[in-house]
Structure 1
């Protein structure tokens, strides 16, 4: 399986992601410049975290209009896989490859910590190595991670199984106390209707070796490989 890691001006998790794919998982991977449009040779493209284009206007909006992001739309239509992490999630929502929007955290602060998450749907290409309702721990680091979608869309997403991860506490309780940013319904990660695009605010690439405190993120990458 061949991976590509998107690189925009201001990306800062691109090397972390590249390292995991190449050195931890021993898979073929390239960096892909934001001006590139020829991406057919890849099976999965990862849009990493960071501050693409300085987060000017709002996070992800400028990157969503680049040649690479526009090429992702046809890439997705062909049934290939895309994962957007943190700023990558923001880019994918701005490009309308995923529903909803990422708003500023409800407390107005940047938040950086390990966060527990509950797996809501493990029947996707990105979560097959996880169990339904499994509690995992991944780092979060964001200022605009407050996921929002209108009530009608939320109901439809719930019915179709598009809600993949929710913020919770160590015991799996999904409530206001375990919500780090005000996301509607504690949503931390979602898929598109075809389940070949996955966006999440937590950073699985920062949780793929036990020395980092958790290797739960590895299961997400192993799921797509398998």
Structure 2
């Protein structure tokens, strides 16, 4: 059970491999945007798991020996959302909502005690498009979230989301009433370092044991047991 003095709880969802999968399309669109931003075909790509989009781009620029971060980053932050916008239909066809994600988000959205948003390394517009394509945006308040274009240091995104949600909902969200939910040890580390509880979902590449070892307070194998997930998230509110 997670102790909290507030009757409200801020739930911050990771997106990729927690709620949805792009099933390879994301990498293709990234390569297109990289070429648009730099004029250079992408041959190498930096590690992406748990990183923000700007930090991935900067590391990928280094791999290609490309200098001049800011002009490339500015162009990239326009090019990538444009790629996703143009490929909405393909994303809907090739990608997928992970098992139980829609049902769990819907169940939690019916609880006024819970404020659902996202904490993701995706650019804000990319996150919005991904969730819109799979009709998940209606369950989360994107204004209360934090995104890769807010800060390259992902743990700092927790405080950004807490501030936005606090201002909007008139509740002080802090370490006691914020939960970050994700599929990787990076997500768990983000939550713990950023000032939140961290919950794992073993729907990506890491096991239940790995996520528990990273410090998750609990790990679900997937999101199919909406009732149990809801009960856990409300356990200290009743």
Same fold (TM over 0.5): no
TM-score by length of 1: 0.35
Rg: which structure is higher? Answer: 2
Structure with bigger helix share is 2
Of the two structures, which has the highest relative contact order with CA contacts closer than 8 Å and spacing of 6 or more?
2
TM-score by length of 2: 0.33
